[in-house]
Amino acid sequence: MRMYGIFREGSQINQVICALFINLPVFAYGASIGWMSPMTLLLQSDKSPRGTPLTDLEVSWMAAVAYLVCIPGDFIMAFLGDHIGRKRTLMLISFANALTWIVLLSSTEVWALILARVLVGFSMAGCFVTCPIYTKEISDDNIRGALGSLVVLFHTTGNLFLYIIGDILSYNTILWICLMIPTFHLIVFMMMPETPSYLIKRGKTEEAGRVLAWLRGRKETHSSITNEIQLLQKEQRNDEGSNKFLIKAIFKDTTLFHAFRIAMVLSLAREVCGANPVLNFAGGIFSIASKENSLVLTPNQQAMLLGAIQVAGSALASCIIERTGRKFVLFTTSLISGLSMFALASWFLATDYSLVLPNWLPIVTLCLCIFCDSAGLAPMTLVILGEIFSFKYRGTVMAATMSAASFADFLQLLFFKPIANAIGIYASFYFFGFICVANAVYVLFWVPETKARCLDDIYSDLNKVKSKRKDNSSCAEYRL
C-alpha cells in the first residue's frame, strides 16, 4: 500500500509521528517499572488486595527478576529485530506489555506477580534494544538525536504517570488503564512502516523507496530519496563480507572493536553512575534530611518529585541535543553528576563525624544526579550507540551492551545496601562520583561527536584517535 505525507514537501512530521508511536511501548514499560513503587507499599500493607501482605523476600524477587530476564532478553530482541523486522518485534513488545497486565488482573498470587515481572524483563529488553534502533533507522540525520532521546522521555513520563495514578486510583483500575496502552499501540502501529534499512536488507528496494518517501515527505522519484537508497545499499554491501558470527567479526576489525569498546564503556558507566541506587536510597536520604526542617514527604510524594525531575531532564535532552551535540551534553552531565556524588558522599562522611552541614544539600545533590542522568547520561548514551554501528551490527551491539548494563543493575540492587552498611554509604557515593568523572574524561578524549554525521565520518575520527593518539588540542575537531 502506498503511503503519502499529508504535509508540505520535505516535512519531517511523519518521522515525528512514527517516532512517537515507536516509543509508546517505552511509556508502557515505564509505567510497569513505576508500578512497583506505590503498589509494593499497598501489597505489603494490611489493605493488600491479595489478603496476605507480601514479604520483603517476595518483593525483592519481583524487583530483581526483570533485570535477570533482560540479560538473555536483549539478545532475543536483537535476533528478532534482524530476522522478522523492527516493526513485528516492536509489536511483540507491546504484546508482552499487555500480557503483564492481564496476568496481574488474573491473579494476585506470588507466582503471578513474579511472572508479570518476568514479562516486564522482555519489555525492558525490547524497549532499550529495538526502539532506539527503530527510531534511528527512520530518522533524518538532523533530527535523529532529538527523536532518539525520546526513549528516555517516554520512560520517565511512564514512571511519573504511574506514580500519580498509583496515589489516587484503586489497584484494579490502575491495571485496566495500563492494559489499554499496549492494546491501543498494537492496533495503531499496524499502520506504521517497517524501517528502510530492514527492507533493503530483505531486497525490497521498491517498498523501501515508498517508505522513505513517506517519512521524508517527498516523492519517490526525488533525488534525495534515490541517494538515500543508494547509501543504504552501500552500507549493506559493506557488511556482506563480514563474518556471520558478529561478535567475532567486531573483535577482528580494529575500527569496529574501537566503536564497540566505546559503546560498552558508555553503557556500563551510565549504569554504574549511581542513579539507580540513588533512586532506591532516596527515601532514606529524604528522611534524614527532613529531620530538622519542615520538608516532610510521603514515599509516593518522593517518587513523584523524582519522577518529575526525570521528566524535566529528559525533556531538556530532547530540546538541546541537536543544538549542542551529543559529546558536549554527555561530558557536562557526567562531570556535574560526579561532582554531585562527591558532595553527597562528603555530606554522609561529615554526618558520621557529627559535623553540621546544610540539610538541603543531600536533597539538592540527589535531584541533580537524577536530572543529569535523564538529561544526558541515559539519552546521549543510547543515541551514540545507535549511531556508531551499521545495520548489521547495530542489534548485536545494543544487545551486548544492554545485557551488560542489566547485569550491572542486578548486582547494584543486590549488593548496594550490604556494602553500604559494611563500609559506609559515603564510600559507595565516592565510588559513583569517581565513575562519573572518569566517564567525563573518557568522553572528552575518546568519544567522537556523532551529531548529523555519517558512519564513514565517525569511523574516520575513530581511526585518527587510534593511529595518532590525539592530545587535548585535537579534540576540538570533534566539535564540542
pLDDT of residue 92: 95
3-state SS class at 362: helix
Question: d(Cα 151, Cα 144) in Å, to the nearest integer?
Answer: 12
Same domain? For 82 and 182 the reply is yes
* Domain identity same for 186 and 208: no
CA atoms of 403 and 474, how far apart (whole Å): 34
Q: How far apart are CA 145 and CA 300, in angstroms?
A: 33
Residue 2 in any domain: the answer is no
Both 319 and 377 in one domain: the answer is yes
Whether 124 and 255 map to the same domain: the answer is no
CA atoms within 13 A on the CB side of 152: 32
Q: Give the number of domains in the chain.
A: 3
Distance from C-alpha of 25 to C-alpha of 87, rounded to nearest angstrom: 12
Residue 251 sits in the same domain as residue 156: no
Could you give the 3-state DSSP secondary structure of residue 81? helix
- Residue 174 within any structural domain of the chain: yes
In this model, does residue 210 exceed pLDDT 60? yes
Distance CA 443, CA 438 (A): 9
Q: Cα dihedral angle (183, 396, 455, 83), rounded to 10 degrees?
A: -60
Average pLDDT over residues 276-297: 64
pTM above 0.85, yes or no: no
Identify whether residues 187 and 219 lie together within a single domain. Answer: no
**Domain extent at residue 211:** 199-240
For residues 269 and 417, state if they share a domain: yes
Closest to 242 (Cα-Cα) out of 261, 231, 256, 232: 256
Whether the per-residue pLDDT at 5 is higher than 60: the answer is no
User: What is the reported pLDDT for 341?
Assistant: 92
> Which three three-digit cell numbers place residue 365?
545533590
Q: What is the CATH number of the domain that holds 280?
A: 1.20.1250.20
Pair 91, 132 in one domain: yes
Please check whether residue 90 is in contact with residue 131, taking contact to mean a CB–CB distance below 8 angstroms. Answer: yes
Measured between alpha carbons, how far is 163 from 305 in angstroms, rounded to an integer? 10
Question: Both 267 and 145 in a single domain?
Answer: no
Cell matching residue 296: 516532610
- Please indicate, yes or no, if residue 168 is contained in any of the structural domains: yes
The pLDDT of residue 354 is 80
In this structure, are 280 and 371 located in the same domain? yes
pLDDT at 460: 86
Tell me what pLDDT residue 3 has.
44
pLDDT digits (tens, 9 = 90+) for 155-209: 999 989 998 898 889 999 999 999 999 999 999 999 999 999 999 989 899 999 9
CA atoms of 100 and 113, how far apart (whole Å)? 9
Report if residue 298 sits inside a domain.
yes
Q: 257 and 112: one domain?
A: no
Beta carbons of 160 and 34 less than 8 angstroms apart:
yes
CA distances, 351 to each of 14, 102, 275, 384, 426 (Å)? 54, 47, 22, 39, 10
For residues 20 and 118, membership in a common domain is answered with yes
pLDDT of residue 265: 95
